[in-house]
Structure 1
Amino acid sequence: MTLDSLAIGQRARILAVDWSCLAPDEGERLRALGLDTGARVAIAHRGVFGGGDPIALLIGRMTVALRRAHAAAMTVETL
């Protein structure tokens, strides 16, 4: 399952990230925010326009807006 397919409020742990799908600078920013293998996340909200883009993602006590394409590059397991 990928991160973009999680339901709102569902918790998950990132198992893998396909960094080749992302530009190098985007990958660096995501790693700096803590979005890497092992991170525990939850979907807080989805955008109402453009197919649910962006996704508001909870990482610990922080909320991060993430593009749907970036979330699709992350394989997760639900908790």
Structure 2
Amino acid sequence: MDLGLIRGTTLEVIRVAPLGDPLEVRLRGFMLTLRRAEAEHITVD
């Protein structure tokens, strides 16, 4: 499941829900909402 999250993609965390789940991120000009469990699979270099 790439969803545009490939190596070299800039990702910005826009908002985190009050209990920490879900997260809203911006990448490649669109907004994406991820569960924390999904976001934990993103590797940051």
Name the TM tier (shorter chain). 0.7 to 0.9
> Cα distance, 1:60 vs. partner?
2.4
1:62 aligns with 2:30: yes
Equivalent pairs, count: 45
| Stretches of 4+ aligned residues off by more than 3 angstroms | none
* Matching residue's letter, 1:57: V
Q: TM-score, normalised by structure 2?
A: 0.80
* Matching residue's letter, 1:63: M
1:9-48 maps to which residues of 2 (within 5 A)? 27=1, 31=2, 33-48=3-18
Aligned residues: percent identity? 31
- Of Structure 1 and Structure 2, the greater helix share is in 1
Extract unaligned runs of 5+ from structure 1.
1-26
Q: TM-score, normalised by structure 1?
A: 0.51
RMSD value over aligned CA atoms?
1.2
